[in-house]
């Protein structure tokens, strides 16, 4: 049985509120597999899977109870340890410093919610959106921007799975993302994607380049890791 999305019976202003009907034979194992084999503790059971909305996700985020993405009406907690959060903050700072001199668009932190597809609200660890993606080159007043970023950065944490990241990659490029960086602090390496199934794996000596999305923005990958020395295990 396929996943079905239907309009909710609740009248809401603006775009129709959607609910997702999950296959009736699914177990928790099926639900977990659908989300990329992520740990079960990252899957919220209230509202029930299939019934959650962007408003539910934003309410959790606003209450500082964690950050949740929305996948087919399922609230999925975003995993990000302190070290990975620091790296995201440094990279965001570097991009914003670049944008101060080259106002090409806006950069978002991990709590910057993006509806990249009709049933997908994602929270990249760092994202950049060019002004060309916004009507009249102005930011909308929506709580969730209904746009895909030009650049999406995911910094791998211990709770991420390879299957989860493959799902995200497919979504990002289907939505129109141009570049994805998967940065792995554990190995001090990264993968640079220009398409979901095509990547270059680079080490800490590689210069990460923002072209053509952020022309002129570049940094050595190892400099990002060295910015925050980390104790050995």
Res 2: pLDDT:
55
- pLDDT attached to residue 65: 86
User: What is residue 2's three-state secondary structure?
Assistant: coil
* Long-range contact set of residues 108-113: C-beta below 8 Å, sequence gap at least 24: 108/149, 110/67, 110/78, 110/80, 110/85, 111/61, 111/67, 112/145, 113/54, 113/57, 113/58, 113/61, 113/143, 113/144, 113/145
Residue 42 DSSP code? G
For tokens 């895909």, name the residue: 148
User: For residue range 42-51, what is the model confidence (pLDDT) as tens digits?
Assistant: 999 999 999 9
The pLDDT of residue 11 is: 39
Residue with tokens 């080259």: 102
Identify the pLDDT of residue 89: 96
Please state the separation of Cα 30 from the chain's center in Å: 23
CB 210 within 8 A of CB 216: yes
- Residue 223 CB neighbours (<10 A): 13
Q: Which of 157, 178, 154 is nearest to 166 (CA)?
A: 154
Q: Which CATH superfamily is domain 82-226 in?
A: tt1808, chain A (3.90.1570.10)
For every residue of 68-94, DSSP letters joined together read: EEEETTEEEEPP--HHHHHHHHHHHHH
Kindly list the domain boundaries of the chain, sorted by start residue: 4-77, 82-226
Can you give the pTM of this predicted structure? 0.89
- Tens digit of each residue's pLDDT, the chain (233 residues): 456 555 544 434 444 455 677 898 999 999 999 999 999 999 999 999 999 999 999 999 888 888 999 999 999 999 888 899 999 999 999 999 999 999 999 999 999 999 999 999 999 999 999 999 998 889 999 999 999 999 999 999 988 999 999 999 999 999 999 999 999 999 999 999 999 888 999 999 999 999 999 999 999 999 999 998 877 76
* Predicted pLDDT of residue 167: 97
Q: With beta carbons less than 8 A apart as the criterion, state whether 167 and 160 touch.
A: no
199 CB burial (10 A radius; 0-12, 13-18, 19+): middle
């Amino acid at each position: 049985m396929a996943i079905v999305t239907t309009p909710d019976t609740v009248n809401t202003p603006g775009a129709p509120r959607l609910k997702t009907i999950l296959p009736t034979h699914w177990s928790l194992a099926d639900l977990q597999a659908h989300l990329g084999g992520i740990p079960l503790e990252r899957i919220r059971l209230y509202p029930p899977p299939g019934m959650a909305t962007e408003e539910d996700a934003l309410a959790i985020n606003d209450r500082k109870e964690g950050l949740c993405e929305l996948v087919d009406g399922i609230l999925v907690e975003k995993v990000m340890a302190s070290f990975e959060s620091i790296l995201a903050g440094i990279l965001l700072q570097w991009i914003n410093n670049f944008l101060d001199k080259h106002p090409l668009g806006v950069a978002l932190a991990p709590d910057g919610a993006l509806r990249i597809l009709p049933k997908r609200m994602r929270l990249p660890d760092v994202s950049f959106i060019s002004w060309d993606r916004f009507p009249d080159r102005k930011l909308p007043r929506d709580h969730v921007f209904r746009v895909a970023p030009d650049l999406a950065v995911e910094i791998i944490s211990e709770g991420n799975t390879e299957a989860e990241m493959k799902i995200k990659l497919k979504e990002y490029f289907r939505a129109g993302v141009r570049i994805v960086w998967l940065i792995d602090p554990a190995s001090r390496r990264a993968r640079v994607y220009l398409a979901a199934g095509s990547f270059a794996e680079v080490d800490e000596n590689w210069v990460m380049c923002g072209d053509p999305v952020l022309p002129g923005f570049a940094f050595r990958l190892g400099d990002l890791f060295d910015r925050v020395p980390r104790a050995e295990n």
